[in-house]
Amino acid sequence: MAFGGSTVHTRCKRCGYMRTTIDEAPMWQCPKCQAAYAKTDRSQDPVSQLHYRRQPTGLLRLQRFLSSIFLISLVVTALAYFYKGDLTAPTPIHPDLLSEPIQQLLTNSQDFSVLYKREKYNVRPVADYELWGLVVSHNNISGLMDSYHDGDSVDTKDLCVVWGGNLTSGSYQQAKYTSGAWTCYYTHPYGVSFNSSQFSNNHLITADQAIRDIIAEIRIGDQVHVKGQLVDYQADKFPDFWRKSSTTRADSGNKACEVVFVSKIDILRKGTAGWYAAFTIGLWTMLVVFLLKGVVLYLEGNEKRH
């Protein structure tokens, strides 16, 4: 038996009125504001409720879009990581790289000093030097394993290069190269004719910021021209130690590297420039998207709380 004041637990979402058994309005309509329950309360209609819940919000759609961009950037960055600096890429060799380095020993040279970042370096010229080469490796001056080369040292990036017959024979493409803080090594399969005298690791030093900026741009696969002097040098704060330059391309092992005080350097041709650009853009895109996803996630949380 129903009594006049009992309810059937139907509340209008528009005006908040709770329907009772004595209301004469149709069951689909609010007796107070005359609104249809189905239009104001989707929870009364299971089909409408399912449809309503499946509709993504603007923030959810943005979150999905950002996830897609992040995934695409991740794939592009991964591909670029493997292909940047690829020495097998069909990059034409500049004709100057077929030449041997030019070296002229000095007999009456004068020592000089340079000041860089408030540090004094004493320099002893040994020979005028000019080199054309393909960069096959260089040290990682921003890595934890190389604390000697940074923006405060007169030493810049070490360039490991090949030239001449190693390029025309294609043997440079079959070798593998690795660089340490002061070293460069190569290995190649048995039977590959690789000329070790057409391979060198060059310690580049300069106090000229314009030259340093060019050196900083050089990457594996670039073809370069370097001009300057082979030198021995010493940091004034370490008076008992001189870093000495090799004067022949035929040596190997410790002290076989050329130390070049650079007066001029040019990038003749860049190698895999597109892949290097894709790698940089991909990394930055992933970082920006990651931050945006965090912002959207925060906004979604606020939206749910309200």
pLDDT band at 7 (very low <50, low <70, confident <90, very high): very low
Sign of the Cα torsion 61, 66, 72, 78 reads negative
For 40-76, the pLDDT digits (tens) are: 655 444 444 444 454 557 778 888 889 899 999 999 9
Instruction: Report the distance separating Cα 31 and Cα 15, nearest Å.
Output: 10
Split into its structural domains, the chain has a count of 3
Per the domain annotation, does 1 fall within a domain? Answer: no
The verdict on residue 171 lying in a domain is: yes
In a domain, 90, yes or no: no
Judgement on whether residues 45 and 71 belong to the same structural domain of the protein: no
- Are residues 15 and 32 in contact, defined by beta-carbon separation less than 8 angstroms? yes
Residue 120: the pLDDT is 92
Answer whether residue 276 is part of any domain: no
pLDDT over 90 (residue 222)? yes
277 falls within a domain:
no
More confident residue, 151 or 277: 277
Burial class (CB in 10 A: 0-12, 13-18, 19+), 235: middle
Do 257 and 300 sit in the same domain of this protein?
no
Residue 151 pLDDT level (bands cut at 50, 70, 90)? low
Q: State the residue range of the domain holding 294.
A: 63-83+283-305
> Quick one: 227 and 102 in the same domain?
yes
Handedness of CA 179, 182, 108, 250 (dihedral sign): negative
Structure confidence at residue 83 as a pLDDT band (50, 70, 90): confident
CATH of the domain at 174: 2.40.50
28-32, 168-172, 195-199: range with lowest mean pLDDT: 28-32
pLDDT per position as a tens digit, 24-37: 888 888 888 888 87
Q: Helix H segments across 125-231?
A: 165-168, 209-217
Co-location of 143 and 239 in the same domain: yes
Q: Are residues 239 and 262 in the same domain?
A: yes
pTM higher than the cut 0.95: no
Query: What is the pairing mode between strands 184-187 and 258-269?
Result: unpaired
Which backbone phi and psi does 280 adopt, to 5 degrees? Answer: -65, -45
**Which H or E run includes 292?**
helix 273-305
Neighbour tally for 281: CB within 10 Å: 14
Query: Would you say residue 200 lies in a domain?
Result: yes
